[in-house]
Amino acid sequence: MMTHADIVASLQSRWPEHRVAPSLSRIAALTELLGDPQRSYPVIQVAGTNGKGSTAIMIESILLAMNLRVGRVSSPHLSDLTERISIDGEPISHEAFDALVGDVMPLVSIVDEQRLDGVGMTFFEVMTGLAYEAFAQAPVDVAVIEVGLGGTWDATSVADAEVAVVCPVDLDHTHLLGDTIAEIAGEKAGIIKEGSVAVLAEQHPDAARVLMERCREVGARMVREGVEFGLIGRTPAVGGQVLRLETADGPVDDLLLPVFGEHMAHNAALAVAAVEAFLGGKPVPSDVLAEGLGAVRLPARLEVVRTDPTVVLDTCHNVHGATATMAGMAEAFDFTPLIAVVGMMADKDIEGVLRVLEDGVTTIVCTQVASTDRGLPAEELGEVASDVFGAERVHVRDSLPDALELAVTLADQAGAGAGILVAGSVVLAGEARTLLVRQAADRDSDDVLGEADGYDPDHLQDEDDD
């Protein structure tokens, strides 16, 4: 009998999600065999270059505060594959996941044998099918679906979303989605289906034109940030910020969001507008908004995972995301010096991200993402960092535990006021969180940063966020 670890390894041995096989034929074939579970509940789908994961979590939190049963698909995961399928705000249990795989895999094998478009089902396609089936079995009242990559050909788009949410579009994954913002927006616009409501974050003009044209083509009603909804004001507060939002019922004040950064405040406004669109344009009661936003928890988004010295995790991995992260760091923390532990995927704009970090980071420790062959070797990252920071500000450590230990040592030597930022990749943030959060739960060790109990980098996904 296969163990949970065996099941995870078997799934992850499939065609990886960073190698795109652009077709909905395979996922459509699977969902048809399953009885099209994605049609048994309304869907809110979330796409965009940055912010879609946090926006999806905020939407889920508000819906849960309305006493609805909610399913949520997310990608990538940080520490455990089951994080990708959440019901009622919690990842599916290992036991339930394993049983679900047992039910669905015989049908996956049927699709594999057909070799539609020349390949068997990819890892992401199988995970999408599993999620849609899990939500039908639950059953959920609504599903919040985070797009994996792009939009038009993403496996999640086998569902026709009633509400299509598009977070800010910027340059990323250009080798897959296009070389310009307009081309990338065209891929993401594919989630906007006939008769749906498109909830659009404030966009670059080139992206806005593409998205609005898509809405006109399919007859989708537009709800736009800065026009129908938006962030009116915000005040930094202990542990987060207090928001004033423009909603369907007019301005709502004094909404506590326990997350740092102006970009997160904009994501919260987007999430509220998405829920209102789901309700047919009706407002969400202010007490429900307060409860839902107040309950938001965003792992590895400017998340403090250790104190003395303070260690902050973030998932930023492109220029747009890094810019938002550094602005959030400057507002929420006053670290002097700031030491960054950075690992990146080889296919990212490495120099661009490092130049954003350089302005606020005193010292950088370059390391390698361990759990994927897409990770740039630490030495190569160090060479680029030396050009950007100057060699005297750069350290290189091949393993993340060694890099974290060095960063802690440097922070301790600097004394009070020093802080550490771990960033550059969703996968790196997941690896660091696995080490640091689990270690925080077991402080019996005298090591500065020892190997966390249960840490298994092979459980981490072979891809980065979109």
Q: What pLDDT, on a 0 to 100 scale, did the predictor assign at position 21?
A: 63
Q: What pLDDT, on a 0 to 100 scale, did the predictor assign at position 437?
A: 77
Report d(CA 31, CA 14) in Å as an integer: 18
Tens-place pLDDT, residues 50-95: 899 999 999 999 999 999 999 999 988 888 999 999 999 999 999 9
Q: What pLDDT, on a 0 to 100 scale, did the predictor assign at position 456?
A: 35
Q: What pLDDT, on a 0 to 100 scale, did the predictor assign at position 428?
A: 93
Instruction: Judge residue 70's burial from the number of C-beta atoms within 10 Å of its C-beta, 0-12 exposed, 13-18 middle, 19 or more buried.
Output: buried
% of the chain residues with pLDDT over 90: 78
Q: Of 268, 267, 295, nearest to 61 (Cα)?
A: 295
Report d(CA 81, CA 424) in Å as an integer: 21
Write b or e for each residue in 99-123: b if 16 or more Cβ atoms lie within 10 A of its Cβ, otherwise e: ebbeebbebbeebbeeebeeebbbb
Selected residue with higher pLDDT from 342 and 439: 342
pLDDT category of residue 455 using cuts at 50, 70 and 90 = very low
For residue 414, what are the contacts with CB-CB under 8 A and spacing of at least 6? 337, 339
pTM above 0.85, yes or no: yes
Q: What pLDDT, on a 0 to 100 scale, did the predictor assign at position 460?
A: 35
Q: Of 327, 338, 300, 250, nearest to 464 (Cα)?
A: 300
Report d(CA 174, CA 417) in Å as an integer: 39
Does residue 441 surpass a pLDDT of 70?
no
Does residue 450 surpass a pLDDT of 50?
no
Tens-place pLDDT, residues 389-424: 999 999 999 999 999 999 999 999 999 999 999 999
Report d(CA 110, CA 99) in Å as an integer: 19
Does residue 100 surpass a pLDDT of 50?
yes
Tens-place pLDDT, residues 268-289: 999 999 999 999 999 999 999 9
Write b or e for each residue in 228-240: b if 16 or more Cβ atoms lie within 10 A of its Cβ, otherwise e: bbbbeebeeeeeb
Q: What pLDDT, on a 0 to 100 scale, did the predictor assign at position 173?
A: 56
Q: What pLDDT, on a 0 to 100 scale, did the predictor assign at position 193?
A: 96
% of the chain residues with pLDDT over 70: 91
- Region 155-160: mean pLDDT is 96
- Region 297-303: mean pLDDT is 92
Report d(CA 188, CA 211) in Å as an integer: 8
Tens-place pLDDT, residues 5-60: 999 999 988 876 555 667 899 999 999 999 999 999 999 999 998 899 999 999 99
Structural domains present in the chain = 4-294 (3.40.1190.10), 301-459 (3.90.190.20)
Does residue 373 surpass a pLDDT of 80?
no
- Region 157-182: mean pLDDT is 82
